[in-house]
Amino acid sequence: MATPKWKSPFELLAIGIYVLIFGSAAIIKFLVDLVLKGPRRMFYYKKRIVRPQVLSDNRFGSHEFVMLKNSRMKLHCVVNGPKDKPLMLFLHGFPEFWYSWRFQLKEFCKDYRVVAIDMRGYGESDKPRPVSSYHMDQLTSDVNQLIVALGYEKCFLVSHDWGGAVAWMFAYQYPEMVEKLIVCNSPHPAAFGELLKTSWAQTFKSWYMFFFQLPVFPIVILQSNDIEWVSDVFCGQAMGAKPGSFTDEDIEAYKYTLYNYDDLLGPINYYRARFRYAKIDTSLVKIKPPVMVIWGTKDGALSKELPELAAKYIENYTLKWVEGASHWVQQEEPDVVNGHIREFLKS
C-alpha cells in the first residue's frame, strides 16, 4: 500500500496549536494530581496476567484468528452462529475491543454469522507500532480482506465510535460489500469536520484527540493510578453510562486489554494517523448502502447535532435516538439497540 499523504503545512500548524493548548493542560493536571495523590498511587498499577473469566464465556462465541492475505495482519475474532447464514460484522471503538458487542453476539447469532473483531492494535490482534499502519486505507483494507477470508462477498456492518469511522469510509470505498450499515454514536466524517469548524463546544469535547498527538506522555498518563481512566470513561459522570451498565468484571476486562504499553500505543495511533494524514473528501459523494445511525443523546464526547448533519451525505438514511443513553449506547441499552437493529434489518 502506498505511503499515506500528509496534511498541508497549514493544517498541521493549526493542529499543533491545539495540541500545545490541550496537551499542556493535561500535563499540568497530571502534575497537580501527582502532588496531591503522591507518586506511589499515581504510578501504581497491578499486574494483569490471568485472562478474566468473563472473556472466556462461550455464550458469546468461539475465539478464532484470521490471517489477512495481503497485509499478513492477524486479527482476533469472536465468532458465533451458523456458517450458512449472512455475515454480520462488528467493529468496536476506543478504548474497546470485541467484548463491547457481547449483547449483540448473543442476540443475533441465530439468524446471522456474527463476527466481532479486535481491530488492529487492539486486544489479541496484531499491534503494529508505526503510525502509518493506522491510516484509514489500512483499516478499511482490513475489513475488506476479513470479509473475503471469512468466505463472504458482503456483510451487514455494525459499528461504534472509531469502528464507525472505519465503517463510514468502508461504505464509501467498498459499497458493494455492504448490505446495510449500522453506526452507533459515531459521526459521519464530513459532518464531524463541518461541526469542528463552527463549534467550540465540539472542539473542547475533542480535547483528548489533540492530547494524544503528544509523544509518550499520553501513555504514561493513561497508565497512571492503575489505569483508572478506564473506570472514569465507562462509569464516570462526564462520559459514563447509567449506574449498573458496567460490572466490576466488565471494567476489569477492559483494563486487562489495555495493560501494557503496546496495548495503548495502537489505539492512540488511530488518532495520530487521523490528524497526521490527508483524508478523502467524503462530502462529494453520497453513501449508497442503506444506513441507520443509533445515537445516545447523552454522549459526553460528541455533540447531538452530528447525526442530523449526516443526513445530507447519505442516500437512504434512518436515525434512531436513544434518549438518556451515553456514548456507550449498545452496552448501556442493549435491548433498545438490538430492537432498532432488528427492525432496520427487516425493513
Give the containing element (helix H, strand E) for 190: helix 189-198
Cβ atoms of 163 and 93 closer than 8 Å: yes
**Residues in CB range of 304: below 8 A, 6 or more apart:** 295, 297
Question: What does the block give as the cell for 131?
Answer: 503510525
- In the structure grid, which three cell numbers stand for residue 186, read together? 459515531
Sequence-separated (6 or more) residues with CB below 8 Å from residue 136: 165, 166, 169, 273, 274, 277, 279, 280
Q: Is the peptide bond before 95 cis (omega within 30 degrees of 0)?
A: yes
Q: Is 277 in the active site?
A: no
3-state secondary structure of 94: coil
Q: Annotated catalytic residue: which of 271, 277, 299, 313?
A: 271
Q: Residue 39: count other Cβ atoms within 10 Å of its Cβ.
A: 10
Q: Residue 296: which of 127, 160, 148, 144 has the closest Cα?
A: 160
Please tell me which residue in 76, 92, 188, 327 is annotated as part of the active site.
327
Q: How many helices (H) and strands (E) does the chain have?
A: 15, 8
Active-site pick, 118, 161, 250, 263? 161
- Tell me if residue 161 is catalytic: yes
Residues in the chain: 347
Which residues are annotated as catalytic?
Answer: 161, 271, 327
